[in-house]
Amino acid sequence: MGFDLPTVFLSRLIGLAALILGAAMLIYQPPLISAVELAARDRSALFMLGAGGIIAGLAIVLTHNVWRQGLCPLVVTVVGWFMLIRGVLLIFLPTGFLLHLAALSHFDDYPVLYAALPVALGLYLSWQGFLVRHD
């Protein structure tokens, strides 16, 4: 089954980025845990992370808001909406509430699990983008 050019491009882009970030999360667990804890306390860092998420999420959502053409296009769309919503929340939610959410996530207890999610997403989207035949 072939996909539209935006789906192919975005599945490759998101897939490779997720693989690289997930691998970095696996390799650099202690510094990553420290970085997450520091960022959660720094309003300017949260603003920059949120702004980046909003820009990337809007770019995906505005070019690829596809809900009915198969699993891969759906995953690309959901990733775009997730990035957009997360970016808005990072900018507007109070720091104390974000710290509470971070504590609930137990990120520091399960860094391998949190790294496995982008690796799995990256493998799936890269496979779809690079190896599935596109007519």
d(CA 115, CA 105): 13
pLDDT at 1 over 70: no
In 24-63, the DSSP E strands lie at: none
Judged by phi (left if over 0) then psi (alpha if -120 to 50, else beta), residue 90 lies in: alpha
Q: In this predicted model, what pLDDT tens digit does every residue of 97-127 receive, in sequence order?
A: 888 887 888 888 888 998 999 999 999 999 9
User: What interhelical angle do 111-126 and 5-27 show, nearest 10?
Assistant: 150
Predicted TM-score of the model (pTM): 0.88
Q: Which of 44-48, 94-98, 131-135 has the lowest mean pLDDT?
A: 131-135
Annotated domain spans of the chain: 5-131
Q: In this predicted model, what pLDDT tens digit does every residue of 13-58 receive, in sequence order?
A: 999 999 999 999 999 888 888 887 888 888 999 999 999 999 999 9
2 or 79, higher pLDDT: 79
pLDDT at 132 over 70: yes
